[in-house]
Amino acid sequence: MQHRLLAVLAYAATALATCPVARGESPDPAALVRQVREREAWVERVDSLRIRAIQDWELTPKGLEHRRRAARKQFPGSPPEQDPNTRPRHRTVVEQAFDRKRIRLRVKDEGYSDDLRIWDGSRFVLQNRYDPWPGLAPDQEGSLISEDPGRWLYWLVWTNFACFRGGPHVFWWHGPKERAEIERMAAKPEDFAYEGKADFHGIPCHVVSHWGSWTTLFVGVDDGRLHGIRSGASSSRKFKRSLVELLREAGRQVADERDLERQAPTFTAAESGRLQRLGAARMTRLIDPVFEYRLSLNKEVAPGCVLPLVQETRFFEVDDDGVAFEAQKEETRIVEVKVNEPLPDSLFAVTFREGEWITDQTIDPPVRYRHKAAMTREEWSRIVEEARTKARKKPAGR
C-alpha cells in the first residue's frame, strides 16, 4: 500500500509547478538546477572516458543486525554470514570505460565476485567469476554472449558512482525510446522549489527540492557546484505523518495514516499539485531520504571537465518501529581518470576459461555449452542440434 501511495502522489505531481518566490528574497531554483546540469554535461560530449575507482563499504551496527535478521527470514536454516550482503565491511573495485562505439564495465567485489560486461561494437559479453564462498551453488561462473547490450549493460553505466545524478544524461547508446524515457522521468528545473540555505557537511549550500522525484540538491553558495544529493523517501512514520499534515494543509480531511492510504487513489491532480508546492519547499524537514550522496575533492581532469574524486553514499532503511536509520555507508575514491585518450582494443578483449559454461544468445535457438578451445566442427554441430531438439520439445509459450 505504501508503494502505491508513493506512486499516486509522485505521478500526479510531476508536471506541476512549484510555488513562486518573491524576487530578491532567494535565488531562482530553476537557474541553480540548470547550472548544476550544465556543469555535468561534459560527460556526454567527450570522445572517450576511462575511470578506475575503489569503493569501501561498511554496515553500521544497526544495519548489520537488520541485514542478518532479513537473511535469517529469507534463508531459514542457513547461517546469515553466508549472505554476502551481511559482511560488515568489503571493498569493490570499479573499472568503467567507453568511447564512441564501445563500453566496458568491470565490478570486482573483493573476496566474492568479479562481474565483467563488454560491448565491443558488435558483440556483448557478460562474464561472472566467484571466489570460494560458503553456500554458493556450483557452476555459478560462466559467460553470456548476446547482441543486446541494452538489457545487460547500458542502464548500468554510472550506477556505481554518485556523480552525474544532478540531471538526465543521454549517450550514443541510448536510442530514441530510451532518450524519451530519460527526459520524461527527469524533473524539470522549473519544478524545483527553493528551501533556503543549509550547512551540508560543513559547506554552506542553497537547497532546492523536487517533490515528485524525492530529489534534493545541495548547491554551494560560494562556488555554485553540486556538493550533495538526497534521493528517495523512506516509508517511515515521519513520512506518513508529514503527508497527513500536508494534505490537511492542502484542504483534504484526513483522519490518520490509515485514512491517508484509503484516500490515496482519490487524490485529484489539483490536490497533488498543492501537496507538491507545500512539500517541496520544506522537503528535507518532512521526509527521510533513502540515499544521501556527498561529492568532494573536485578536480579538472581535462579542460572544462570537473569530476569529484571522492564520492560518499549513505544508505537509509526503516526499522520495525517505522523509524529511518543509517544502515550502510560507502566511500568511492576515483584513482584513475583518462579523458579523450584512445582506448586500446585489448581493453575490450574477452578470454574464456577451458570448460566454463557459455550461453550464446546470438544463435537461434540459444545454445549452452562448455567452452573448449580446440572444439571441432562436429562437436559444435552437435551442440547446435541438441539446442534445436530441446527447443522443438519445449511447449509453446514457455
Per residue in 92-120, pLDDT tens? 999 999 999 999 999 999 999 999 999 99
Give per-residue pLDDT as tens, 324-340: 999 999 999 999 999 99
Does position 19 have pLDDT exceeding 80, yes or no? Answer: no
Query: Exposure of 394 by Cβ count < 10 A (0-12 exposed, 13-18 middle, 19+ buried)?
Result: exposed
- CA geometry: angle 17, 186, 224, nearest 5 deg: 80
**For residues 382 and 212, which has the higher predicted lDDT (pLDDT)?**
382
Each residue's pLDDT tens digit, 269-323: 887 788 888 888 999 999 999 999 999 999 999 999 999 999 999 999 999 999 9
d(Cα 398, Cα 394) in Å, to the nearest integer? 7
My answer on whether omega of the bond before 176 falls inside 30° of 0, hence cis, is no
Q: Residue 288's closest CA among 322, 328, 239, 217? A: 239
Q: Which residue has the higher pLDDT, 165 or 272?
A: 165
Please report the pLDDT score of residue 15 as a whole number.
Answer: 30
Q: Give me the pLDDT at residue 40, please.
A: 95
- At 78 the pLDDT is 87
Looking at residue 396, what is its pLDDT? 63
**CA nearest neighbour of 104 among 116, 112, 122, 92:** 116
The pTM (predicted TM-score) of the whole model is: 0.87
Confidence of residue 35 (pLDDT cuts 50, 70, 90): very high
**What's the CA gap between 6 and 98, in Å, rounded?**
36
- For residue 346, pLDDT beyond 80: yes
CA 246, 252, 256 angle in degrees (round to 5)? 70
Helix (H, G, I), strand (E, B) or coil at 248: helix
Contact 155, 105 (CB under 8 A): no
Averaged pLDDT of the chain: 90
Alpha-carbon distance values, 323 to 68, 135, 315, 317, 392 (Å): 18, 33, 14, 8, 54
- The pLDDT, as a whole number, for residue 25 is 65
